[in-house]
Amino acid sequence: ADAGLPLVVLPQAFGWSAEFNVQHSKLVPQAERRSFSLLQLDSPGFAVNVALDARANPARPDDVAYTSTVLGEVDRVLCLDARRIYCIGFSRGARFCSRLASERSDIFAAIAALSGVRYPRPNNATRPVPVLVLHGTADAVNPYLGGGPPYWQSSVADAVAGWAAFNK
């Protein structure tokens, strides 16, 4: 439905409950003030399925399919504007936004990745996807320069360069 409301999808950061994640985002007052809907995903184990290079861990649930199903249900109730569906995530939630941009570029108009942008390898997006990135250089969990945990090897600059090249 193209005349409906814009929607912001909010996947949770690792270890955060859905309730804490939506409170931490401070997006509810913005949604009310700016007339958009907010969808907080609630993934099993407080963690969406995203591994190295924003790919899936095959041993975990298919959170892309889950997200697609939930979006279909929400659209039936809220009458969304299919051209204005966005994903905003922090840390692991940001990595999942990167995955959604790759796997469901037919749905997501753009993403905002806070402390967690990744460039999916391979990137399965079928069109350019605008990506807003905010990431501090002192982040010890997802280091700006890369390295760190097994899921976080490439640098933020490499991820941004990957998206920039893809989106040309």
pLDDT per residue as tens digits for the range 33-53: 999 999 998 877 767 889 888
Which pLDDT score is estimated for 16? 81
Q: Judging by beta carbons within 10 Å of its beta carbon (0-12, 13-18, 19+), is residue 10 exposed, middle or buried?
A: buried
Helix, strand, coil percentages (3-state) for the chain, rounded to 5, are 35, 20, 45
Mean per-residue pLDDT of the chain: 92
Q: What does each C-alpha distance from 39 to 9, 69, 113, 162 come to in angstroms? A: 5, 13, 16, 28
> Which amino acid is it at 19?
E
With cut-offs at 50, 70 and 90, classify the pLDDT of residue 19: confident
Q: What is the DSSP letter of 50?
A: -
Enumerate helices (H) and strands (E) in the chain, giving the number of each.
Answer: 5, 5
Which pLDDT score is estimated for 14? 81
How far is the C-alpha of 63 from the C-alpha of 104, rounded, in Å? 12
Residues 6+ apart with CB under 8 A from 167: 128, 129, 130, 131
Which pLDDT score is estimated for 2? 52
How far is the C-alpha of 125 from the C-alpha of 136, rounded, in Å? 26
With cut-offs at 50, 70 and 90, classify the pLDDT of residue 79: confident
Which architecture, in CATH terms, is 5-166?
Answer: 3-Layer(aba) Sandwich (3.40)
Counting residues of the chain whose pLDDT is more than 90, the rounded percentage is: 71
pLDDT per residue as tens digits for the range 101-122: 999 999 999 999 999 999 999 9
Torsion on CA atoms 155, 27, 74, 111, rounded to nearest 10: -20
Query: Range with the lowest mean pLDDT among 28-32, 52-56, 91-95, 135-139?
Result: 52-56
Is the link from the previous residue into 122 a cis peptide, with omega within 30 of 0?
A: yes
Q: What does the domain layout of the chain look like in residue ranges?
A: 5-166
Which pLDDT score is estimated for 81? 94
Provide the β-strand partners of residue 133: 113
Name the more confident of 20 and 32.
Answer: 32
pLDDT per residue as tens digits for the range 140-156: 999 999 998 888 999 99
Which pLDDT score is estimated for 1? 42
Backbone angles phi, psi at 133, to 5 degrees: -125, 130
